Amino acid sequence: MARVLSTAVLVALLAATAAAFALTEGAKLEPSPISHTFVTPVFSPGITTSELRFRLRKPDHLSVWMTRGGKRVATVVAGRTFKAGVVDLVFSGISPTGVTLPQGLYVPVVHFGRSHRTITIPSTTRIDTKPPVIHFPKRRHAVISPDGDG
């Protein structure tokens, strides 16, 4: 009797392992819920904005935010339903308190409310807050003379 019970437990464990393996493999083969991502690489808050664009495979309830150093710093969209297709969003570079975020790299994160998944988009956007500076080279001679007298 003990031998039959241990064999039954072993067969049940093997069946559960096979089922878990099949479920995991099926999940790996499922296409990503988003594709064709685009994030503006560099922008200056107050002058331009960063565009976040991706194609949504199925309709879902999305929340999108920006992170810097792994911490959430700004919300782009909070719990809004989108249809399948292209989603266009704008990141202004302004924090929820109305302050311009500091210069640095920001990473967009998309949370899917219906499927309870969160995807970090691998593209980053960089906020550039320093205005460009023009440097003029100094001239050695005011006039260039063919005979070298200057």
Predicted pLDDT at 73: 92
- Which residues lie closer than 8 Å to 27 by C-beta, 6 or more apart? none
**If you average pLDDT over residues 10-31, what whole number do you get?**
80
Token pair listed for 75: 């919300």
Using pLDDT thresholds of 50, 70 and 90, give the confidence band for residue 64: very high
pLDDT by residue (tens digit) across 98-117? 888 899 999 999 999 998 89
Select from 65, 48, 40 the least CA-distant residue to 100. 48
Q: What is the mean pLDDT of the chain?
A: 86
Return the pLDDT at 148: 63
Q: What percent of the chain has pLDDT over 70?
A: 90
pTM for the complete prediction?
0.69
